């Protein structure tokens, strides 16, 4: 248990000066030896109760009602090469059934600027437009939503931010972006098979946010889980109301939040997430910790009295979903936990003005070098695409997933 003195150390909401070498070293150690257990016994008891409840429920349904298939993934981070083939055949197959995909794009895409390969600069990510080419291989009818509301938004400056947004939108009419320089660009409303879905995104901070860079109005900063600064609940409530006034029947919030390399959100972050559900959010797709965290359900208006999480709000009964972190979808980060992620698959059914959830599943994925790929290539793949020599690696990954959620199909 040596070197455990650095847990918990959190830079996200309370940074320290560079000259604090002890804290910098502790944070580096945390990035390799992650915080694997809840901070308190109360946190531990909460997650045990939620996992037990999830184990006792079935999210499968034989309903013949028309449904909207959603596929959500975590962080698409910078990789050194292999952008044009970033999705394996298995990963494409996982997403091929989706009418809607949602992802966090955590690298700028600015074609006018150099893409680093041999150096690693965590404050100057950039990728070529080919990074998104694999998504063009998905069915033509599918809609794709990419959030760029994250701490790497300004890695290539304000011009790079605008270039990234344009790179996404230039992929075609089915590609959509959350985030930009202008107010309102962090929101969008889509009509998918007759269901109007509203989207919102935010981040906890922005790298290189200095006096040299104008704060982008289209990238809201909300410090969910921060003990000394409250999120701007009035602004969030106003945005949700705006989407609902435009006809949104289901609200998806994509926050870049929480503490990196920790597997379990703490009590304050859980409190803030419940507030989002209370304000009208139906699905939270979290990212930033770079490791997978649990997926939890919230009973709305006593939909299920046995559910450990309960809130009341105006409107019908139902369930809210909190995906605290879907992990990294694509990355060069070195640890096994940082190379693993999940694809969240669920179907939404619109019935009698109610939105029902069915077939909720979490499918494991892993970033590795593809067979026959160049030395620096990286690709996200399903576990069954790993080679036979990786049998022990698959066992480790499955054990890791099953610790986090009974919804994972390992």
Which H, E and C letters describe the chain, residue by residue? CCCHHHCCCCCCCCCCCCCCHHHHHHHHHHHHCCECCCCCHHHHHHHHHHHHHHHCCCCCCCCCCCEEEEEEEEEEECCCECHHHCECHHHHHHHHCCCEEEEEEECCCCCCCCCCCCCCCCCCCCCCHHHHHHHHHCCCCCEEEEECCCCCCCCCHHHHHHHHHHHHHCCCCCEEEECCCCCCCCEEEEEECCEEEEEEEEECCCCCCCCCCCCCCCCCECCCCCCCCCCCHHHHHHHHHHHHHCCCCEEEEEEECCCCCECCCCHHHHHHHHHHHHHCCCEEECECCCCECCEEEEEECCCCCCCCCEECCCCCCEEEEEECCEEEEECCCCCCCCCEEEEEEEEEEEECCEEEEEEEEEEEEEEECCCCCCCCECEEEEHHHCCHHHHHHHHHHHHHHHHHCCCECC
> How high is the mean pLDDT of the chain?
90
The maximal CA–CA distance of the chain, rounded, in angstroms, is: 62
- Residue 203 and residue 182 share a domain: yes
pLDDT of residue 352: 78
Answer whether residue 96 is part of any domain. yes
In this prediction, what percent of the chain has a pLDDT beyond 70? Answer: 94
Whole domain around residue 7: which residue ranges?
1-33
Going by their DSSP bridges, the two strands 100-106 and 67-77 should be labelled as parallel
Please give the tally of structural domains in the chain.
2
Asked if residues 109 and 157 have their Cβ atoms less than 8 Å apart, the reply is no
In this structure, is residue 333 part of a structural domain?
yes
The candidate with the shortest Cα–Cα distance to 404, out of 198, 262, 210, is 262
| Domain co-membership, 15 together with 46 | no
- Asked whether residue 48 carries a pLDDT value surpassing 70, the answer given is yes
* pLDDT top residue among 390 and 375: 375
Q: Is residue 303 scored above 50 in pLDDT?
A: yes
Q: Considering the domain boundaries, does residue 268 fall inside one?
A: yes
Cα separation, 345 vs 362, in Å, equals: 6
Does one domain contain both 319 and 187?
yes
The model's confidence at residue 60, banded by pLDDT at 50, 70 and 90, is: low
**240 found inside a domain:** yes
Query: What was the pLDDT predicted at 387?
Result: 77
Same domain flag for 62 and 21: no
Do 12 and 154 have their domain in common? Answer: no
The answer to which of 1-5, 61-65, 296-300, 358-362 has the lowest mean pLDDT is 1-5
Locate 110 and state its tokens: 């600015």
CATH number, domain of 369, equals 3.60.21.10
Whether residue 190 is contained in a domain is answered as yes
Q: What is the pLDDT of residue 3?
A: 44
Answer whether residue 380 is part of any domain. yes
pLDDT by residue (tens digit) across 202-261? Answer: 999 998 665 455 679 999 999 999 988 899 999 999 999 999 999 999 999 999 998 998
Answer whether residue 387 is part of any domain.
yes
Do residue 254 and residue 389 come from a single domain? Answer: yes
Please state, in angstroms and rounded to a whole number, the distance separating the CA atoms of residues 318 and 301: 7
Residues 68 and 149 grouped into a single domain? yes
In a domain? residue 410: no
Answer yes or no: do 97 and 210 share one domain. yes
Query: Based on the domain organization, do 207 and 235 belong to the same domain?
Result: yes
- Same structural domain, 20 and 113: no
The arithmetic mean of pLDDT across residues 147-154, rounded, is 96
The answer on 246 and 358 residing in a single domain is: yes
In this structure, the answer to whether residues 148 and 179 fall within a common structural domain is: yes
**For residues 86-96, average pLDDT:** 95
Q: How many residues does the chain have?
A: 410
Q: What is the pLDDT of residue 345?
A: 95
């Amino acid at each position: 248990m040596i070197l455990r003195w650095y847990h918990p150390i959190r830079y996200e909401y309370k940074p320290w000066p560079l000259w604090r070498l002890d804290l910098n070293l502790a944070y580096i150690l945390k990035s390799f030896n992650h915080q694997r257990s809840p901070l308190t016994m109360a946190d531990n008891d909460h997650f045990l109760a939620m996992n037990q409840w999830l184990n006792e429920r079935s999210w499968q349904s034989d309903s013949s009602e028309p449904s909207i298939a959603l596929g959500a993934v975590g962080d698409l981070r910078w990789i050194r090469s292999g952008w044009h083939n970033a999705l394996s055949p298995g990963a494409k197959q996982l997403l091929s059934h989706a009418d809607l995909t949602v992802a966090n794009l955590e690298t700028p895409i600015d074609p006018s600027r150099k893409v680093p390969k041999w150096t690693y600069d965590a404050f100057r990510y950039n990728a070529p437009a080919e990074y998104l080419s694999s998504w063009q291989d998905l069915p033509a009818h599918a809609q794709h939503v990419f959030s760029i509301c994250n701490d790497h938004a300004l890695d290539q400056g304000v011009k790079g931010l605008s270039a990234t947004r344009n790179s996404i939108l230039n992929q075609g009419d089915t590609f959509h972006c959350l985030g930009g320089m202008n107010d309102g660009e962090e929101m969008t409303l889509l009509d998918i098979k007759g269901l109007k879905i509203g989207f919102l995104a935010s981040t906890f901070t922005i790298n290189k946010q200095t006096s040299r860079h104008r704060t982008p109005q289209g990238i809201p900063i909300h410090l969910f889980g921060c003990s000394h600064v409250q999120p701007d609940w009035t602004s969030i409530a106003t945005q949700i109301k705006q989407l609902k006034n435009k006809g949104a029947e289901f609200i998806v919030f994509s926050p870049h939040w929480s503490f990196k390399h920790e597997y379990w959100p703490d009590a304050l972050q859980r409190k803030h997430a419940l507030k989002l559900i209370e304000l009208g959010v139906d699905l939270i797709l979290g990212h930033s910790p770079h490791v997978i965290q649990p997926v939890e359900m919230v009973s709305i208006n006593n939909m299920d009295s046995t559910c450990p999480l309960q809130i009341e709000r105006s409107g019908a009964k139902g369930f809210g979903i909190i995906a605290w972190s879907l992990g990294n979808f694509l990355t060069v980060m070195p640890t096994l936990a940082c190379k693993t992620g999940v694809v969240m698959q669920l179907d939404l059914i619109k019935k009698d003005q109610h939105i029902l959830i069915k077939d909720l599943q979490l499918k494991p994925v892993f970033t590795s070098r593809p067979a026959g790929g160049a030395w620096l290539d990286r690709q996200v793949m399903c576990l069954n695409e790993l080679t036979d020599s990786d049998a022990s690696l698959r066992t480790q990954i499955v054990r890791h997933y099953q610790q986090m959620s009974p919804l994972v199909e390992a």
